[in-house]
Homo-oligomer: A and B are copies of this chain.
Amino acid sequence: MGMDLIDRKLLELLQSDATMPVAELAQKVNLSQTPCWKRVQRLKEAGVIRAQVALCDPRKLGVGTTVFVAVRTNQHTEEWAQMFTRAVQAIPEVVEVYRMSGETDYLLRVVVSDIDDYDRVYKLLIHAVPLYDVSSSFAMEQIKYSTALPVRETAIT
């Protein structure tokens, strides 16, 4: 089954504000409440909408500094990968982790309060799992941060 213009519009709206009442949502997509609500339910059941969460201000929580950590390993085994995955999952300051192509094996985004705080997380990480090489780059400013994914025609339900 595909996803039409109305579903895409609904996703755009809910990705920017999930507190919006169904009545308002329905009005914005030129629909009545019930079919609008049914569409939203369908999108949730299909797993297109995964969750509904509160977003916090990093600075107000004392984690206004982002550090990107490029990690290289010399143990390309399944065991090491699992150990690494568990380690980063267990550290809440590590908010994003990607397995990369090219030079660096893994790229981490870490949120901390300052450089000293980063050193704490760094030590946590290297004690939890052996790393061949670690390169840290500090972000001076967050220009854009969006949890809203682009919704195009190619999407599938």
Residues of A within 8 A of B (CB): 11, 14-19, 46-58, 60-63, 66, 68, 85, 88-89, 92-102, 104, 106-107, 111, 113, 137-152, 154-157
CB <8 Å contact, A150 and B56: no
**Could you tell me if A113 and B55 are in contact, using CB atoms closer than 8 angstroms?**
no
B17, B49, B58: the one contacting A149 at CB < 8 Å is B58
Stoichiometry (number of copies): 2
Chain B, residue nearest A58 (CB): B149
Does A56 contact B49, Cβ atoms closer than 8 Å?
yes
Question: Are B51 and A54 in contact, with the CB atoms below 8 A?
Answer: yes
Q: List 19 A-B contacts (CB under 8 A).
A: A18-B53, A18-B54, A47-B57, A50-B55, A50-B56, A52-B55, A53-B53, A53-B55, A63-B149, A85-B144, A95-B146, A96-B142, A96-B145, A97-B143, A97-B145, A99-B143, A101-B137, A102-B138, A107-B139
CA distance A48 to B92 in the complex (A): 18
Assess the B62–A54 pair: CB atoms within 8 A: no
* Residue of B53, B57, B139 touching A16 (CB-CB under 8 A): B53
Sorted from nearest, which 6 A-B pairs have the closest CB atoms?
A98-B139, A92-B150, A14-B54, A97-B143, A97-B144, A99-B141
